[in-house]
Amino acid sequence: MYLQIMDQIKQKILLGDWAPGQALPSIRELSANTQVSVITVKRAYTELEEQGVIVTQPGRGSFVADAVNAQKNLLQADLDKHLTGFISCSRAMGLSNSQIIAEVKKVLMDD
């Protein structure tokens, strides 16, 4: 469930609904609005902070990170997710590291 909350927050940032520096709802407020436990929302905020998407200031709350960092970190997280899926699929197919690299090179040459 925390992943869904993270995705919703990332979408709001990417679409520009939440601007850099804008305050996010408090953990308790978002918990009440989504009917999700405070612990789940806290985990989503913690993960987003680790990814550099939001910043938390003790006693003040959580805010959207500055535009350059937030955008870059969101794209990096998306890339990591896709690469992890690609590698998992490749491993399930029994491909070796050199075969995986060859597949990447093939796609890059077609691009």
**Percent of the chain whose predicted confidence (pLDDT) is above 90:** 65
48 φ, ψ to 5°? Answer: -65, -35
Q: How far apart are CA 23 and CA 38, in angstroms?
A: 18
42 φ, ψ to 5°? Answer: -60, -40
Confidence band, pLDDT 50/70/90 cuts, at residue 69: low
Q: Is the pLDDT confidence value at 72 over 80?
A: no
Token pair recorded at residue 109: 């040459």
∠5-23-49 over CA atoms, to 5°? 55
Q: How far is CA 109 from the centre of its chain?
A: 28
| Domain annotation for the chain: domains and CATH numbers | 2-68 (1.10.10.10), 75-110 (no CATH)
33 and 40 in contact (C-beta within 8 Å)? Answer: no
Q: Which of 28-37, 59-68, 82-91 has the lowest mean pLDDT?
A: 59-68
Q: How far apart are CA 30 and CA 36, in angstroms?
A: 8
Average pLDDT over residues 38-45: 96
